[in-house]
Amino acid sequence: MATQAPTFRPARTAGFWLAAAIALLQGVNAVRTATDPQGFATYMGLPVDQLSALGWVQVYGLRAGFIAVLTAVLLARSDFAALRWMALAALLMPLGDAYLALGAGAGPGIVGRHLAIAVFLVVAAVFLGRAAAKQEARA
């Protein structure tokens, strides 16, 4: 009698939970940009002092909302390979944010937070890649 490979359970992988954290945190960012755009801009290290600039913060929030929804959809589909590539492509954002915040004179804590997010994305990409490989091996 042949033994059957164990069923792949996406929610039992670290990649699943790291991607869920990405979706959740981007959703929180989207809400924060809508409810307190000035506070969010300061949090990002790019404070705004003109009412007209707050619209750009909300544009950022719309994009964060898109990332949250896209991540949730890919999670629901258990598409770990796509999530891995998304995490790697997303490195552009925290690295760019760190650069912009540094250029605006933000403190080392803010710049460091952006860089920590980049490290988180690399770690997430590694674990998502592992989950994709397990999923493929059991398919």
CB 71 within 8 A of CB 124: no
Rounded Cα gap, residues 95 and 118, in angstroms: 7
Q: What is the pTM of this model?
A: 0.88
Query: Which residue has 């069923």 as its token pair?
Result: 7
Whole-angstrom distance, CA of residue 98 vs CA of residue 116: 10
What's the pLDDT score for residue 7?
Answer: 80
pLDDT tens column, 74-127: 999 999 999 999 999 999 999 999 999 999 999 999 999 999 999 999 999 999
Q: Other C-beta atoms within 10 Å of 97: how many? A: 22
Query: What value does the mean pLDDT of the chain take?
Result: 93
Cα(139)–Cα(136) distance, rounded to whole angstroms? 5
Q: Evaluate if residue 4 carries a pLDDT over 80.
A: no
Q: How many helices (H) and strands (E) does the chain have?
A: 6, 0
For residue 139, pLDDT beyond 90: no
End-to-end Cα spacing for the chain: 20
Distance (Å) of CA 12 to CA 8, 26, 78, 123, 135: 8, 22, 12, 17, 12
Could you report the per-residue pLDDT of 40-87, keeping only the tens digit for each? 999 999 898 888 788 889 999 999 999 999 999 999 999 999 999 999
- Domain borders along the chain are 13-137
What sign has the CA pseudo-torsion 22, 23, 25, 30? positive
- H/E stretch holding 81: helix 80-89
